[in-house]
Amino acid sequence: MTARELYEKIIKKNSFLCIGLDTDFNRIPKILRDSEYPIFEFNKRIIDATIDLAVAYKPNLAFYENLGAAGWMSLEMTVNYIREKHPETFLIADAKRGDMGNTSKMYANAFFRNLDFDAITLSPYMGRDSIQPFLEYRNKWSIILGLTSNEGSGDFQLLQLDDSYLFEYVISRAVEWGTKDNMMFVVGATQADQLKKIRKLVPGHFLLVPGIGTQGGSLEDVFVNGHNDQCGLLVNVSRSVIYADVTNNFEVAARQRAIEYRDQMKSLLQQSGLI
Amino acid sequence: MTARELYEKIIKKNSFLCIGLDTDFNRIPKILRDSEYPIFEFNKRIIDATIDLAVAYKPNLAFYENLGAAGWMSLEMTVNYIREKHPETFLIADAKRGDMGNTSKMYANAFFRNLDFDAITLSPYMGRDSIQPFLEYRNKWSIILGLTSNEGSGDFQLLQLDDSYLFEYVISRAVEWGTKDNMMFVVGATQADQLKKIRKLVPGHFLLVPGIGTQGGSLEDVFVNGHNDQCGLLVNVSRSVIYADVTNNFEVAARQRAIEYRDQMKSLLQQSGLI
């Protein structure tokens, strides 16, 4: 998928919502826990309930690995289900990988070939050859950590260099390795004051923005500071959509919450003249 | 396992060798490829052939994830086999994880509770709360990327700050979060000139050193620059041991290669007066 194609999907759905599938066995409705693949069953129902409202879904690998081989099976089933029923969806593996070339090549094969994700989140600490193997896949995306939404982002990412923060240096180097059709950056919604600077640094690139909802970031601030002329944003919400209600009513509640986000996004897209 | 206990194992085996289980289906002997769990079968034989020569084993997660659920099954079987047959072994998950607290907690549960690894490699970019959940497990270790052995280490880790490189700043901050009984640092063997500085920065901590063998680092340089009064080193070798021979003779050849490393290590430990 190119950046242009992703933008077209955003326009079509009036939404730049990404739903994070941080699916925790202990938080899904009791009624699903006895099914053979409870995590997949939950994901399938969340996806079906929100597919017209979200342009992307983002399984968080930790939640699947925590269930071992059965977790991987649920991940595979989730990916295959989306590919079969909703092939137009942008699928992100939230994996935060990054290793030496030889190893990153294996991860790229695992996530882009075997599992057919469109994108993967990557940690930049090991530098260019840890990212390169992912960039070699056509129509696939590397989403590199820039400035994250957690408290620990202050420890290294906000380290003050001579004329910038470390995260700005990281983004300005990494952006040279790819294009706006195969590279995005993660910027936490809790860092809305920095978004303007990042948008200047990478005017044409998409940004993946977590931190709305449970973490407290403001969607409006993110949009105002972070959008570009092709939207340029995927805003992720995980827990506050998928666990909007933990009873048997969960699909209706998740849909309702996603509608609220979509409506807010539609209004922001309208105000900016993009739709 | 405490640092003292790890040191005692090193003295007992006259070896600080860690064998990296980067087990690639396409590189294991043909005779094993038809078995039900070929990756596990290969690992089991390598472990049995080298267990008196190595203090640690380090499965590289990418190679298992590349095989999906079956790969995770092989990983679980490998860990369980070691725990049952050779419980004194130090087991490292080479996973380079690191995510916000909520997610790192899931990874910690996956690798320390479900899989009973002793240690995991972690990427520091997201800061303290991405590491903290791993440090909360008693007798388990966080092995944080300091200065890696790959070419890309130059991109960010060797960024020159006012009075140090970035990797020195990372190590000097991270070391405050743990103790010498629950934290190590990764330092590539190809960076032997920097090892002296790192040893000064963290005099009491163990260092995990990859990059010997195929990558060309010198074991002697690593030892001279990096050891401390409790050895303080785990030196990892992956491909040049496990693929020393790819015919049916692979166990004998892997053992022979591991003996060569052990003999060299024994000699270095003797020269330094540690044994």
Write down the mean pLDDT value for chain A. 96
Q: Does residue A267 have a pLDDT over 90?
A: yes
**Residue among A65, A70, A99 whose CB faces B107 most closely:** A65
Confidence band, pLDDT 50/70/90 cuts, at residue A29: very high
CATH 3.30.930.10 fits A3-106+114-271, yes or no: no
Note the pLDDT of residue A214: 74
Q: Are A209 and A226 in contact (CB under 8 A)?
A: yes
Note the pLDDT of residue A211: 87
Bridge-partner residues for B186, per DSSP? B145, B208
The C-alpha atoms of residue B187 and residue B194 are separated, in whole angstroms, by: 9
Note the pLDDT of residue B96: 98
Note the pLDDT of residue B136: 98
Nearest CA in chain B to A69: B69
Q: Are B197 and B171 in contact (CB under 8 A)?
A: no
Note the pLDDT of residue A72: 96
- Ranking A11-20, A185-194, B196-205 by mean pLDDT, the lowest is A185-194
Bridge-partner residues for B185, per DSSP? B144, B207
Q: CA of B254 to nearest chain A CA: how many angstroms apart?
A: 21
Note the pLDDT of residue A246: 87
Local structure of A90: helix, strand or coil: strand
Confidence band, pLDDT 50/70/90 cuts, at residue A215: confident
pLDDT, tens digit (0-9, with 9 covering 90-100), for B158-203: 999 999 999 999 999 999 999 999 999 999 998 888 999 999 999 9
Note the pLDDT of residue B61: 98
**Residue among A100, A106, A153 whose CB faces B150 most closely:** A100
The C-alpha atoms of residue A240 and residue A258 are separated, in whole angstroms, by: 9
Q: Which residues of A touch B164 (CB under 8 A)?
A: none
Please give the average per-residue pLDDT across A12-22, as a whole number: 98
Confidence band, pLDDT 50/70/90 cuts, at residue A191: confident
Considering the domain delimited by B3-271, tell me its CATH architecture: Alpha-Beta Barrel (3.20)
Confidence band, pLDDT 50/70/90 cuts, at residue A217: confident
Question: Which residue is listed with tokens 């997610």?
Answer: B103
Confidence band, pLDDT 50/70/90 cuts, at residue A76: very high
- Cα distances (angstroms) measured from residue B274 to each of B18, B169, B224: 19, 30, 13
Q: Which residues of B touch A107 (CB under 8 A)?
A: 62, 65-66
Bridge-partner residues for A19, per DSSP? A57, A237
Take residue B241 and report the two structure tokens written for it: 């041991």
Note the pLDDT of residue A36: 87
Note the pLDDT of residue A174: 98
Note the pLDDT of residue B216: 80
Nearest CA in chain A to B164: A161
pLDDT, tens digit (0-9, with 9 covering 90-100), for B126-149: 999 999 999 999 999 999 999 999
Q: CA of A65 to nearest chain B CA: how many angstroms apart?
A: 6
Better-scored residue on pLDDT, B214 or A89: A89
Q: CA of A202 to nearest chain B CA: how many angstroms apart?
A: 19
Domain-wise residue ranges, chain B: 3-271
C-beta atoms of B145 and A157 within 8 A: no
Nearest CA in chain A to B168: A156
Take residue A4 and report the two structure tokens written for it: 């242009």
Beta-carbon contacts below 8 Å between A and B? 182
- Ranking A4-18, A107-121, B2-16, B213-227 by mean pLDDT, the lowest is B213-227
Under DSSP, the state recorded for A222 is: H
pLDDT, tens digit (0-9, with 9 covering 90-100), for A30-48: 999 998 899 999 999 999 9
Confidence band, pLDDT 50/70/90 cuts, at residue A220: very high
C-beta atoms of A68 and B153 within 8 A: no
Q: Does residue A193 have a pLDDT over 90?
A: no
Under DSSP, the state recorded for A33 is: T
C-beta atoms of B150 and A76 within 8 A: no
The C-alpha atoms of residue A173 and residue A167 are separated, in whole angstroms, by: 10
Confidence band, pLDDT 50/70/90 cuts, at residue B215: confident
Q: Does residue B217 have a pLDDT over 80?
A: yes
Note the pLDDT of residue B191: 84
Distance in Å from the first CA to the final CA of chain A: 21
Q: Does residue A75 have a pLDDT over 90?
A: yes
Q: Which residues of B touch A69 (CB under 8 A)?
A: 69-70, 72-73, 76
Bridge-partner residues for A40, per DSSP? none
**Residue among A99, A145, A161 whose CB faces B125 most closely:** A145
C-beta atoms of B127 and A154 within 8 A: yes
Nearest CA in chain A to B170: A156
Q: CA of B51 to nearest chain A CA: how many angstroms apart?
A: 25
